[in-house]
Structure 1
Amino acid sequence: MTSLSSTKFAIFGAVLIAISFGLARFAFGLFVPPIREELELTADLIGLIGALPLVSFLLATLVAPLAADRLGARKTAVLSCGFGAIGLALISQASGALSLGVGVFACGICTGLMMPALTAAMQAMVKRSLHGRVSASMNAGTSIGVAAAVPAVLFLTDAWRYAYGAFAGLAIFGLLAALFVIPSVSRVSPTRTAPAPAISMLQWSRLFRLALFAFAMGFVSAAYWIFAPDLVVTIGELPSSATGWLWLAVGVAGLGGAAVADLADRNNPAITQALMLMMLSASLALLAASPGELMIAAFSALVFGLAYMSLTGLYLMTSIRLLPGRLSMGPVLPFMAVSLGQATGSPIVGMLVNKAGYENGFALFAMIGILVSILSPLYPRSIAEAQEDDEEPETGLQAAYDSQLQYLDEERSP
């Protein structure tokens, strides 16, 4: 195993996230127009297929913490990349809706296993005080993967099968890299740490509110991830290769999401949640209003990329702070909620597109996002702030637990 600093581990994690989330999951929407045309799929069927990787992501996420504990971080990451390589290869050879669905389902398993594997490795290789920041940096890898898919569209127009074949090769590269970099088990053994305190009702209530906001954001964002490229091609009559500029804009702007999430986490998360959700909703409305104008469509993608990555990073950091010391659970909950929202929203927006048209479907989803943003004052505060208002009996245990983990961090430091 290669030892990495916190910064290098964040970069390495971002690369694996780029492969699993960026290429195996979110790049699918970029190739919907040529896939839909070649395989003769309707919009509602594409919506259902687009929901499959989100469903498999949820199923994989449920067992991922157990897999990370039993198999270790290294084997779980290798298994994740293996599912990604298989899924991407199946998509490249898809002959119809069934084979395409099996491929994207396997890709969803890849994404569900990756983050728990990386957080388990992070527990062994990164100081606890840096967990939130490193997690947000790794999350920004999604933008790198989305941007990396763009050359395939720009230079391999309508050659989506070759593009997915190349993505499968990158997943195999990630598998080999995980074998050499990620540790097999955590260096922090259970016998050396105090058991994590029970989750209080205060924490559960805040986690529930966080999950609702994450679900709503995922629901609204599903329209853009699955149907934005198809909208500009079908309604805006832009060439299929032009959709690459949209995903490039999403990827480039999304890289700023880690910085925004970090600033919001340390300042005012509720205001940032409201602002970013309003921006995300505005990006849907802007694209639906001018799908034939490439510059306006690209600008909407910039807005969407920054808003989406900022929100996912913010939810991730909030969850970690609400569940200190529970890395197998904290980072998983917001991703599950976002994916459940996307899995719900994808088929619904597909049906709306079929019955009411792209413009009305996107406008309705934008309205939902705006309504949810108005409720942002209910966004949960960190548990530390909450304990100032409501001291509970287990506060002393939590302090002792945090103190012991801090001691272990200092002991591992050079």
Structure 2
Amino acid sequence: MDAKKLIAIGLPMIAVTYGLSRFSYGLMLPYISETIPMNPSTSGFISSLSYIAYCIAILFAMIFSKKITSKTILMIAGLSSIIGLGIISVSPNPIFLGLGIFLAGMSTGFSSPPYAAIVNNHVETGLQNQANSWINSGTSIGTAFTGAIAIVMADSWRETYLIFMVIAIFVLIANYKVLPKQVISEEKGTAGCSKKEWSHSIQLIIASLVIGISCSAYWTFSRDFVLNLDRVPAYLGEWFWVIIGAAGLLGGTAGVFINHFGLVRAYRVSVFILSTSSFILGVFPENVIMGFLSPAFFGSSYIFMTGVLIVWGISVFKTNPSFGLGVPFLILALGQSIGSILSGQIADISGYYVLFIGASIIGYVTLLLKPKVN
């Protein structure tokens, strides 16, 4: 399959599942809270449901990657997104909202591993890093789009989620028509992974977990924090998500950067900038220049970092590309789930300043780790 054609349908699907279905919650939270009153602890718990759902779904996608076609799993991802977004749009209380967030969150876990398998089997080796990185950058497109729609739609968050649902329907139809009908026969091989691969994945797993804990505060509470700062212009809070998404397009260059400068350098650069984005928000929250710099740092480095994890994972789990993407993303989501709950508690007790500074310190710790491949 042509790499450009795969990117053309894979990127929008990731944009829908990650940007619209999963990370949009943090963007819409200030508006949702006006209609469905929630304290930070409840908001953090609901956010964690998305990550928990992601963990469940990505486990399913990994386990059944050798038994179910990648296309079928991606169809499940699209349907999960559509149903979840629909429930969110009509939620009357936190319980229904949590259900919608959970179902929408499952779509992200279903969507990532199949594309890694398709790239591995249908794209020439020299273009695989770039293809995986650009498909992964769909998160930034979705994030920027949700930000722009939120500005246009103002406080109409229910209508916004309905629009997201309609977009998800069209993207699902496009993937159904373009993706290879049967790829399972070409994905046969070792269902599990060797002891050597698992031993080499220890630092990958630790890094993914700690980074997930570190960045969860930013995804859930950063925009809400900025919007409630008295000395920060309103337009900065309104465009905050757009900045994150637009900057995330730079993350699509992860594959090219790794090919030129190596995986270790790419990892350290991405983690340092990602952690610095939280540090800036905690230390200089009312500085307008820093207010633009922080989301730009976060958006670009987060997408870049996930691209690094994809390449790192696939280079470790060479016998099963679905595991190569699934394992680090599963652990990343587990860390984000834990981090979302902790973030809500910390925000309640100590406030957002302490939360973001603490998150940055946790992120900086992962600079001590070093990618190791077979």
TM-score, length of structure 1 as denominator length: 0.85
Contact between 2:244 and 2:299, CA under 8 Å: does it hold in 1?
yes
* Structure 1 equivalent of residue 123 of structure 2: 126
Letter in 2 for 1:369: G
Going from structure 1 to structure 2, the CA distance change for 1:100 and 1:240 (only over 3 Å counts) comes to farther
* Structure 2 equivalent of residue 396 of structure 1: none
Alignment counterpart, residue 85 of structure 1, candidates 82, 86, 91: 82
Q: Does 1:333 align with 2:327?
A: yes
Shift of 1:189: 3.8
Distance across 2 between alignment mates of 1:308 and 1:326: 24
Letter in 2 for 1:138: I
* Structure 2 equivalent of residue 391 of structure 1: none
Alignment counterpart, residue 372 of structure 2, candidates 381, 387, 394: 381
Contact between 1:153 and 1:241, CA under 8 Å: does it hold in 2?
no
1:54-133 to 2 correspondence within 5 Å? 54-133=51-130
* Structure 2 equivalent of residue 157 of structure 1: 154
Q: Does 1:298 align with 2:319?
A: no
Alignment counterpart, residue 309 of structure 2, candidates 307, 315, 327: 315
Gap runs ≥5 in structure 1 = 384-414
Listed one character per residue, the Cα deviations across residues 335-360 of structure 1 (whole Å, up to 9, x for unaligned) are 10110110010010110000001101
Letter in 1 for 2:31: P
Listed one character per residue, the Cα deviations across residues 167-204 of structure 1 (whole Å, up to 9, x for unaligned) are 011111111112101123217546xx7x4497444322
Contact between 1:91 and 1:104, CA under 8 Å: does it hold in 2?
yes
Alignment counterpart, residue 208 of structure 1, candidates 187, 202, 209: 202
Gap runs ≥5 in structure 2 = none
Going from structure 1 to structure 2, the CA distance change for 1:132 and 1:244 (only over 3 Å counts) comes to same
Q: Does 1:254 align with 2:254?
A: no
Secondary structure of 1:183's partner?
A: coil
* Structure 2 equivalent of residue 406 of structure 1: none
Distance across 2 between alignment mates of 1:198 and 1:351: 38
Q: CA RMSD in A?
A: 2.1
Q: Does 1:350 align with 2:344?
A: yes
Shift of 1:290: 3.5
Listed one character per residue, the Cα deviations across residues 78-119 of structure 1 (whole Å, up to 9, x for unaligned) are 111111011111111111110110000001111111112323
Listed one character per residue, the Cα deviations across residues 115-173 of structure 1 (whole Å, up to 9, x for unaligned) are 12323433443224433321111111110110111221111111111111100111111
Alignment counterpart, residue 12 of structure 1, candidates 9, 30, 37: 9
* Structure 2 equivalent of residue 23 of structure 1: 20
Letter in 2 for 1:35: I
Contact between 1:236 and 1:291, CA under 8 Å: does it hold in 2?
no
Q: Does 1:146 align with 2:146?
A: no
Distance across 2 between alignment mates of 1:213 and 1:38: 37
Shift of 1:221: 0.5
Letter in 2 for 1:335: F
Secondary structure of 2:59's partner?
A: helix
Distance across 2 between alignment mates of 1:12 and 1:57: 21
Distance across 2 between alignment mates of 1:215 and 1:366: 14
Of 178-187 and 237-246, the range deviating more from structure 2: 237-246
Secondary structure of 1:40's partner?
A: coil
* Structure 1 equivalent of residue 182 of structure 2: 185
Shift of 1:299: 1.4
Alignment counterpart, residue 278 of structure 1, candidates 268, 272, 281: 272
Shift of 1:8: 1.9
Q: How many residues align?
A: 374
Shift of 1:301: 0.2
